[in-house]
Structure 1
Amino acid sequence: MDHDERPAHASSFGAAAVEYAAHRPDYAQAAVGWALAPAPGPRVLDLGAGTGKLTGTLVALGAEAVAVEPDPAMLGELRRSLPHVRALRGSAEAIPLPDASVDAVLAGNAMHWFDMAVAGPEIARVLAPDGILAGLWNLLDDRTGWVAELARVGGGAAVGPRDTPAAWRTETAGMHLPEPPAAARFGSPEQAEFPHAQRRTADSLVATLATRAGVLVMPEPERAATLDRIRAFLAGAADTARGEFTLPMLTGVLRVRRL
């Protein structure tokens, strides 16, 4: 993605906040547990929390979660679905929390939007000693034939970088973590992947893909043509043509410890 395109993509989700809340998947509990396992305590910041997909999993695991999200429409959906969670307007570059106030900072499908030159020092500031920074991404498991074909048919806008396991491993291996000099305050990164799945219909999978940033920023004729092409593929594929089916996924985790 061109550097100049990033702000438009990053800010595109608010217009589809209701659809995002309805259709985007949560995160594999095993993946969230692994991300948190080395953290020294239960206080967790969900940074770039969106509509609360990751926040809900954190709450289910018993974490003391606080959510920070810059987009008011996304934040409104989070507060509606998780009214008892502390949810604040803010961003990775300006986190509205005190120094050393959380034991872990997690980001679900969000870390690639952060300006780490600014966000890295902010994340290090709010993390307690030995705290954990982890990014989580839901990936389409293209080891399944029809999923690989869906990725080809959908194109890079609907199924882009980080959306399949091999691309995610390459894309995140040396990216999306704090940059120097903040990088010196973090240890070596680790990656892991965990099985996940979501029950979908052809219509609900099209609706899910329609909430991808690359699709949201398309001109309307191109967006309609892309979604129609995906819909036609799903209608003609034996695995997806009738009723509900399981969309195989993985949750990938990139984890690093604050020194």
Structure 2
Amino acid sequence: MDHDEQSLHASSFGSAAVAYAEHRPDYARAAVRWALEAAPGPRVLDLGAGTGKLTGTLVALGADVVAVEPDAAMLGELRRALPAVRALPGSAERIPLPDASVDAVVAGNAMHWFDMAVAGPEIARVLAPGGVLAGLWNLLDDEVDWVAGLARVGGTEAIGERDTPASWRAVTAGMHLPGNGDAARFGSPEQSVFPHGQRRTAGSLVDTLATRAGMLVMPEQEREARRSAIRAYLAGRPELADGEFTLPMLTGVLRAKRL
């Protein structure tokens, strides 16, 4: 994906902020605990916080959270859902916080949008010594047969290159994190995955997939054709015949510690 295409995808979510807030899942609590277990304190920055899906889990776990989000529509949904959270406009490349002001920086389904050449030093700047940087991604468990079929029918627009465990491990293993060449170095990154799930119906699962960037930037006719193909596939699966089901998921975590 070239720079212009990435910018288009990254800026697409505001147009679907309400649907994103309604349909996107939260994050496995065990995954969030693992992401934060080495943090030196409770102050956490949720960076690229979107509508607050990860923010809400952080709050539930007792973190002292500040959320930063560049899109005004997404930030508005976050503030409506979590009015007690300090939520600021800003980006990974321009974080509106003082030096060494947080013990952890986390990003839920967002780190792949960051320009880490710029964001890396900014993240290091706001982290206290010994602080943790962690990216979290919700993944579809394609070891389940019908989920693997859904990935094939949905295509890369609905089920992207980071949306299944094997592809997530490969993509994040090569992701740039601040390293030995940066003024503030991070240790070697670690990966882990944790079981998760989301209660869905066939209709609400289609609506969830429609909030993916690849779907949002499609021409309307093409997008509706893809939605129809996904609906037809789900309608033919006996596992979903009872109406409501748990979508098999995992939360993947990539973490590194500021040295």
- Taking structure 2 as the reference length, the TM-score comes to 0.98
- The answer to whether the Cα contact below 8 Å between 1:234 and 1:241 also exists between their aligned partners in 2 is no
Measured at CA, do residues 248 and 102 of structure 1 come closer, stay the same or move farther in structure 2, by a change above 3 Å?
Answer: same
5+ residue gaps, structure 1: none
What's 1:39 paired with? Answer: 39
Deviations 1:127-164 (A, max 9, x none): 00000000000000001000000000000000011100
Residue pair 2:68, 2:89 contacting (<8 A) in 1 also: yes
2:238 is paired with a residue whose SS is coil
Q: Counterpart of 1:49?
A: 49
Structure 1 residue 99 corresponds to structure 2 residue 75? no
Aligned to 1:148: 148
Cα offset, 1:174, TM superposition: 1.7
- Corresponding residue of 1:251: 251
- After TM superposition, give the deviation of residue 9 of structure 1 in Å: 0.2
Sort the Cα spacing of 1:70 and 1:179 in 2 relative to 1 into closer, same or farther, 3 A.
Answer: farther
Output the CA distance in 2 between the equivalents of 1:256 and 1:5: 28
Match of 1:158 in 2: 158
Counterpart CA distance in 2 for 1:99 and 1:130 is 14
Q: What is the 5 A alignment of 1:160-239?
A: 160-178=160-178, 181-182=181-182, 185-239=185-239
Q: What CA RMSD, in Å, does the superposition of the two structures yield over aligned residues?
A: 1.1
Name the stretch that deviates more: 1-10 or 89-98: 1-10
Structure 2 CA distance, aligned partners of 1:179 and 1:95?
20
Q: Given that residues 179 and 186 in structure 2 are in contact (C-alpha distance below 8 angstroms), is that contact kept between their aligned partners in structure 1? A: no
Asked whether the equivalents of residues 109 and 135 of structure 1 are also in contact (C-alpha less than 8 Å), the reply is yes
Query: Matched residues in 2 for 1:66 and 1:177: separation?
Result: 22
CA–CA distance in 2 between the matches of 1:211 and 1:133?
A: 26
Aligned-partner residue type, residue 137 of structure 1: W
The C-alpha deviation readout for 1:54-90, integer Å capped at 9, x for no partner, is 0000000000000000000000000000000000000
C-alpha distance in 2 between matches for 1:180 and 1:162: 26
Matched residue type, 1:156? T
* Cα distance, 1:252 vs structure 2: 0.2
Kindly tell me the number of residue pairs found equivalent between the two proteins.
259
Q: What percentage of residue pairs aligned between the two structures are identical? A: 79
Deviations 1:207-239 (A, max 9, x none): 000000000000001100001100110011111
SS of the aligned residue for 1:129 comes to strand
Report Cα offsets for 1:162-212 as digits up to 9, x if no partner: 100000000100204236633861110000000000010000000000000
Q: How many Å apart are 1:4 and its aligned residue?
A: 2.3
**Hey, which bits of structure 1, 4+ residues long, moved more than 4 A?**
none
TM-score by length of structure 1 reads 0.98
Q: Is the 8 A contact 1:50 1:71 kept in 2?
A: yes
Instruction: Report the Cα distance in structure 1 between the residues aligned to 2:155 and 2:69, rounded to whole angstroms.
Output: 29
- 1:139 maps to what in 2? 139
Residues 64-143 of structure 1: pairs in structure 2 closer than 5 A:
64-143=64-143
Preserved contact between residue 116 and residue 179 of structure 1 (Cα < 8 Å): no
Task: Name the CA shift for 1:84/1:223 in 2 (closer, same or farther; >3 Å).
Answer: same
Q: Matched residue of 2:199: which SS?
A: strand
Question: Is the contact made by 1:6 and 1:113 (CA closer than 8 Å) also made in structure 2?
Answer: yes
SS at match of 1:136: strand
Q: CA offsets per residue over residues 8-42 of structure 1, 9 Å max, x none?
A: 00000000000000000000000000000000000
Could you tell me which amino acid in structure 1 is paired with residue 135 of structure 2?
G
The answer to whether the Cα contact below 8 Å between 1:112 and 1:176 also exists between their aligned partners in 2 is no
Distance 1:183 1:20, change over 3 A: farther
